[in-house]
């Protein structure tokens, strides 16, 4: 009888462990070797450009996910953005003073986890802002020194999570800001 109870307990423990492991892989899906190689190549390219990565230090796993990438003041162009899809947990992206264009912003659709995007002094205008509507978790957006106008502000109305918007040195007017504030009253706009 004792052996039977011990066997039942062991089976329960093994089953519980399997259930926990299955749940864990849903939260943190295992990366395939191909994904790992793609991410290593992307990191190497970012570092070669002079960019920096930041990992989530709160995670206890050995391979801490990359949550922030800074390519600011590098020679990064639109092609550099193709590599960013290798990072499933990317939340912050700084592209200040890079060679990113309107066309390059379309590649950001591959990063639905993005919460903060900095595009200071980047040669983009209203046409590029069309590509940001897919970023449903975007909370902070800096368009300082870009060619953004009131028409571009209209394109940002669909970003329901947006809470901070920086517009210094743009072509937006008081009227455009007023209309955006009416559509998103909780949005903090600095200009």
pLDDT digits (tens, 9 = 90+) for 59-117: 887 889 999 999 999 999 999 999 999 999 999 999 999 999 999 999 999 999 999 99
Q: With a cut of 50, say whether residue 24 has pLDDT above it.
A: no
Q: With a cut of 90, say whether residue 16 has pLDDT above it.
A: no
Per-residue pLDDT, 27: 41
Q: With a cut of 50, say whether residue 29 has pLDDT above it.
A: no
| Residue predicted with more confidence, 21 or 153 | 153
Categorize the per-residue pLDDT at 35 as very low, low, confident or very high, splitting at 50, 70 and 90. Answer: low
Residue of 129, 130, 78, 87 whose CA lies nearest to 107: 78
Sheet bearing 92-94, strands edge to edge: 52-55, 66-70, 92-94, 116-118, 140-142, 164-166, 188-190
Average pLDDT of 168-184? 96
| Residue predicted with more confidence, 23 or 167 | 167
Q: With a cut of 90, say whether residue 23 has pLDDT above it.
A: no
Per-residue pLDDT, 105: 97
Contact 153, 180 (CB under 8 A): yes
Which uninterrupted H or E stretch holds 10?
A: helix 2-27
């Amino acid at each position: 009888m004792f052996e039977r109870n011990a066997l039942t307990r062991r089976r329960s423990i093994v089953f519980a462990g399997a259930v926990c492991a299955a749940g864990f892989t849903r939260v943190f899906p295992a990366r395939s070797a191909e994904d790992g190689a793609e991410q290593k190549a992307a990191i190497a390219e970012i570092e070669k450009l002079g960019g920096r990565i930041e990992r989530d230090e709160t995670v206890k796993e050995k391979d801490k996910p990359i949550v922030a990438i800074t390519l600011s003041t590098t020679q990064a162009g639109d092609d550099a953005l193709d590599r960013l899809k290798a990072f499933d947990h990317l939340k912050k992206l700084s592209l200040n003073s890079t060679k990113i264009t309107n066309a390059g912003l379309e590649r950001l659709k591959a990063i639905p986890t993005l919460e903060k995007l900095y595009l200071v002094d980047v040669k983009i205008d209203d046409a590029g802002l069309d590509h940001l509507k897919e970023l449903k978790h975007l909370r902070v957006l800096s368009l300082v020194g870009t060619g953004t106008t009131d028409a571009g502000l209209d394109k940002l109305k669909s970003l329901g999570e947006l809470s901070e918007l920086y517009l210094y040195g743009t072509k937006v007017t008081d009227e455009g800001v007023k209309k955006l504030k009416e559509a998103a009253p909780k949005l903090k706009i600095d200009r």
